[in-house]
């Protein structure tokens, strides 16, 4: 794994966790249900970042498996964001 791949995997994970924390703090402050959907979407991005890191460090499973799992997580994130917009 190259240094750039390691940095990218770490950056995605750290950014997603930071956005998750901000969304949870905003929910705690305003108790608006849509923010929970947004927090769940950021949590899925954090999971995707952890998976990317694990896949790049171990080399297992294949890149194709990561792309498939990552695409499913992306669909779930989009569905959560859509659900958030419907709540308004």
Q: Are 81 and 37 in contact (CB under 8 A)?
A: yes
What pLDDT is recorded for position 50?
Answer: 87
Mean pLDDT by 10 residues, the chain (88 residues): 75 92 94 89 91 78 80 92 82
Nearest to 42 by CA among 78, 8, 6, 9: 78
What pLDDT is recorded for position 24?
Answer: 95
Token code pair at residue 60: 């297992």
What pLDDT is recorded for position 1?
Answer: 58
Q: What are phi and psi of 32, to 5 degrees?
A: -95, 120
The overall pTM is greater than 0.85: no
Domain boundaries of the chain, sorted by first residue: 3-86
What pLDDT is recorded for position 20?
Answer: 95
What pLDDT is recorded for position 46?
Answer: 92
């Amino acid at each position: 794994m190259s240094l750039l791949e390691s940095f990218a995997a770490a950056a995605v994970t750290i950014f997603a966790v930071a956005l998750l924390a901000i969304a949870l703090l905003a929910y705690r402050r305003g108790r608006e249900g849509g923010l929970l959907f947004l927090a769940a979407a950021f949590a899925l991005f954090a999971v995707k970042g952890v998976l990317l890191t694990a896949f790049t460090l171990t080399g297992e499973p294949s890149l194709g498996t990561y792309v498939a799992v990552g695409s499913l997580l992306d669909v779930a994130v989009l569905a959560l964001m859509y659900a958030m917009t419907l709540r308004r």
